[in-house]
Structure 1
Amino acid sequence: MDEHYVWVTTRRLRPGTLEEFERAWRPAPAPQGLRRAYAYWSEDGQEITGVSFWESRDACDSWRTSEPEAQRRAAMAPYVVEEREGFYRGRELAVPGAGRG
């Protein structure tokens, strides 16, 4: 099974700011080395978790320390109450009885 490099960030947002936050959140252009990205949010729109898959730890670290990422974080800051983040390595788990396609 392939190993994945994953950056996960969970942010608690100020009430009623999800739409504004999402406009500030999306990087343009997409970071080099980013393979996939997902966003998951709570029903009340006050917590959002971003999960991004990278080609390597170096690719992720390069983006995290870049000027475009610093600008993106500054744009998000007015909407964020709390933030937790971490980098992980892992792989997809086989789920018994779950067919693929």
Structure 2
Amino acid sequence: MREQFVWVTTRRIKPGTLEELERVWRPDHPYPEELRQAYAYWSEDGQEITGVSFWDTKEACDSWRHSEAEARRREAMAPYVVEEREGFYRGRELAVPVR
């Protein structure tokens, strides 16, 4: 199975700001070419949101993380974020048996 490169960010946000955060969450220009998929998951109370993105390489992800566009995106999210954690991982899909 093909190895994947994954960037995960988890943000605890101010109560009642999920809608505003989602509005500024997306990049303001085309997505990076090396980004394959991206997902957002949020807690039932709307106070924690986790983003999961899949990249071609670690270098492509690092390039985006240190880009001016990502700095602007993080600045736009800052008023809503209480705490942020992130990590970069390598892995592969687990085969789940069909029932």
Aligned length: 98
Give 1:46's aligned residue.
47
Q: Within 1, Cα distance between the matches of 2:90 and 2:32?
A: 19
**Paired residues of 1:5 and 1:56 also in contact (CA < 8 A):** yes
Opposite residue 7 of structure 2, the aligned amino acid is W
Shift of 1:45: 0.6
TM-score relative to the length of structure 1: 0.94
Secondary structure, counterpart of 2:37 in structure 1: strand
Can you list the C-alpha shifts for 1:4-55, whole angstroms capped at 9, x where unaligned?
A: 0000000000000001001111013212310000000001110000000001
Deviation at 1:86, TM superposition (A): 0.3
Segments of 5+ residues of structure 2 without an aligned counterpart are: none
Residue type of the alignment partner of 1:66: S
- 1:15-34 matches, within 5 Å, as 15-27=15-27, 28-34=29-35
Distance (whole Å) between structure 2 residues aligned to residue 68 and residue 32 of structure 1: 14
| Partners of 1:12 and 1:46 within 8 A in 2 | yes
